[in-house]
Amino acid sequence: MHPTRWGDPAAAAPLPEGARGLIELAFGLDERAAEPDPEVPPVALAAELLDGLRTIVGVAHVLVDDDTRRRRTRGKSTPDLLRARAGELSDAPDAVVRPDGHDEVAAVLAYAAAHRIAVVPFGGGTCVTGGLAARRDGFAGLVSLDLVRMKRLLAVDEVSMTASLEPGLRGPEAEALLAEHGLTLGHFPQSFEHASIGGFAATRSSGQSSAGYGRFDAMVVGLTAVTPTGDLELGSAPATAAGPDLRQLLLGSEGTLGVITSVTVRVRRLPVEKRYDGWRWPSFAEGTAAMRTLAQAGLLPTVIRLSDETETAINLARPDQIGRSEPGCLMVVGYEDTAEAVAAKHDAVTTVLSGLGGTDLGEEPGRAWVAGRFAAPYLRDSLLDVGVLVETLETATFWSNLDRLYSDVKDALDGELDGAMVLCHISHVYETGASLYFTVAAKAGDDPLPRWQTAKAAASDAIIAAGATITHHHAVGTDHKPWFAEEIGPVGVRVLRAVKAELDPVGVLNPGVLIP
Ligand SMILES: Cc1cc2nc3c(=O)[nH]c(=O)nc-3n(C[C@H](O)[C@H](O)[C@H](O)COP(=O)(O)OP(=O)(O)OC[C@H]3O[C@@H](n4cnc5c(N)ncnc54)[C@H](O)[C@@H]3O)c2cc1C
């Protein structure tokens, strides 16, 4: 992907006319000139160290050209895009190193530790929290460890319903390989088309169908990782009482403790039938209560998402339909399974939702959501092109604290960004609570980055003050570190630092990321 934009240039589209009118009314249009390719700094890693890496992975797989280094710089948060649009790519890697397999990863890490070369594991590059923006001071140089050659389906166990996948497989590639066996992972984050299996594991990702298939970390039954001090092979049974679960140390470790070289996941049979309905609720509070009822009754469908009044009104859940939404709050409820199971779940859920005061809108809103489910990130680029800053943030808490969290975060964002639109939806629910996902749109003006950073800090302070988590699925990276430290407390910080010192004593893996 290009550092200034999301995804596939062929899929990018200009702002739809309806949205353009709405944006002009709200913020005015401030068309920006197309940005030139940002410059990358010269390669700082010594020639003999590059040669050493070439002896491990082959000459063709140590890339130092500007374009490759540009495309492996940072991730895809709005601050990442703004910096790249401003021509700032100062933390580009010196080289992009592409190992093929576990043993080559191990050899690269050993070489990097021996020569103090910082290593940034790179999956799909869709990180939104600075997890690819490692520190390079104190190191001989910094390389991006691109896992793009590690794309094999290693094993399928159709009796146990598990599959072992290499980390470089992108979402669609993994699904295509599993589909040959009639299987699916069911992990569809909005970044699905570009993010990787290793990245999902390293960030504890959660997909749009998490109600039915679970979060990614809940799907992982085993994994293999290379650390600078040796290999870890974890997960030999479906459940165990053999001490603390070390898999959980690697899940969410964001490339700081080891490189995940294979992941064994629980898989399901491909659904035969899919159905997505729309429901309207008079208020966000009533829709939220209905979600809680379903979760606590064990009646969750495969997909369930509820937009608040503002998000419903401008309908970011349906980017092709902005400005045409009904009043109240839109909920999308999706079912994927055998025909019989879909019918049974649909009937049970419909009875509960109708009884709670929801209005059944039929399948049209659900179909529209499915059609646009991966399109919103392209809309962000189109909005930046007309001078509108758009960014998202997310958190989670228990049901009893959800209302407070919702209003505190909204107030914090409103207080810092005059005239901003603050939208929210819930799309990951549990028996005990849910996540809140905020989208913020504001006039970019001349200096959007510091304004956004101030607003994000205020929202993060509000999240921690409300006793919620700093991230439900975007991970910590560099951006959330101060709040993460508050969340886990000083003893938690010491534990993480001790584990880091044990597994990566020289500190070459993603320096400055995650570990406070
Ligand atoms: C538009 C957009 C929509 C998004 N929607 C969602 C969503 O719906 N749900 C969600 O959970 N997230 C979402 N994200 C965030 C992001 O897609 C996830 O964090 C994803 O899991 C990152 O995967 P990746 O392969 O792109 O990882 P990368 O961005 O390449 O890396 C992420 C972190 O993991 C480390 N890493 C990567 N691979 C490995 C490995 N094999 N071993 C060890 N460390 C590794 C990297 O060093 C980095 O710290 C979204 C992001 C964008 C830009």
pLDDT tens, 268-306?
999 999 999 999 999 999 999 999 999 999 999 999 999
In this prediction, residues 471-494 reach a mean pLDDT of: 98
Which of 166, 191, 436 to mutate for ligand 1's pocket (most ligand atoms within 8 Å of CB)?
A: 191
Identify the CA nearest to 386 among candidates 11, 24, 135, 73: 24
CA of 188 to the centre of ligand 1 (A): 12
pTM of the model: 0.97
Which of 8, 187, 203, 204 to mutate for ligand 1's pocket (most ligand atoms within 8 Å of CB)?
A: 203
Find out whether 425 and 311 touch, Cβ atoms under 8 Å: yes
Q: Where do we find the tokens 């005061």?
A: 357
Atom of ligand 1 nearest to the CA of 380: 1
What pLDDT score was predicted for residue 22?
Answer: 80
Identify the CA nearest to 376 among candidates 441, 426, 303: 441
Measured in degrees and rounded to the nearest 5, phi and psi for residue 335 equal -125, 130
Distance CA 411, CA 424 (A): 13
Atom of ligand 1 nearest to the CA of 225: 42
pLDDT per residue as tens digits for the range 121-132: 999 999 999 999
Beta strands per DSSP E along 136-291: 141-146, 153-157, 162-165, 183-184, 220-227, 230-234, 259-266, 268-269, 273-281
Identify the CA nearest to 227 among candidates 78, 44, 105: 105
Helix (H) or strand (E) segment spanning residue 9? none
What pLDDT score was predicted for residue 324?
Answer: 52
Identify the CA nearest to 439 among candidates 326, 281, 307: 307
What pLDDT score was predicted for residue 293?
Answer: 98
Find out whether 424 and 308 touch, Cβ atoms under 8 Å: yes
What pLDDT score was predicted for residue 323?
Answer: 47
CA of 317 to the centre of ligand 1 (A): 21
* Structure-block tokens of residue 251: 């899940």
CA of 451 to the centre of ligand 1 (A): 25
Atom of ligand 1 nearest to the CA of 206: 11
* Structure-block tokens of residue 504: 């990566």
Pocket of ligand 1, beta carbon within 6 A: 6, 75-76, 120-128, 131-132, 147, 167, 189-191, 195-196, 198-200, 202-203, 205-206, 254-255, 259-260, 377, 473-475, 510, 513
Nearest CA to ligand 1 atom 34: 254
Nearest CA to ligand 1 atom 9: 189
Distance CA 378, CA 402 (A): 30
**Mean pLDDT, the chain, integer:** 95
What pLDDT score was predicted for residue 21?
Answer: 81
pLDDT per residue as tens digits for the range 360-393: 999 999 999 999 899 889 999 999 999 999 999 9
Residue 343, sorted as left (phi over 0), alpha (psi -120 to 50) or beta, turns out to be alpha
Which SS3 state, helix, strand or coil, does residue 294 take?
Answer: helix
Identify the CA nearest to 111 among candidates 168, 66, 46: 46
Find out whether 378 and 11 touch, Cβ atoms under 8 Å: yes
Find out whether 59 and 419 touch, Cβ atoms under 8 Å: no
CA of 199 to the centre of ligand 1 (A): 5
Angle at 266 between CA 263 and CA 268, to 5 degrees: 135
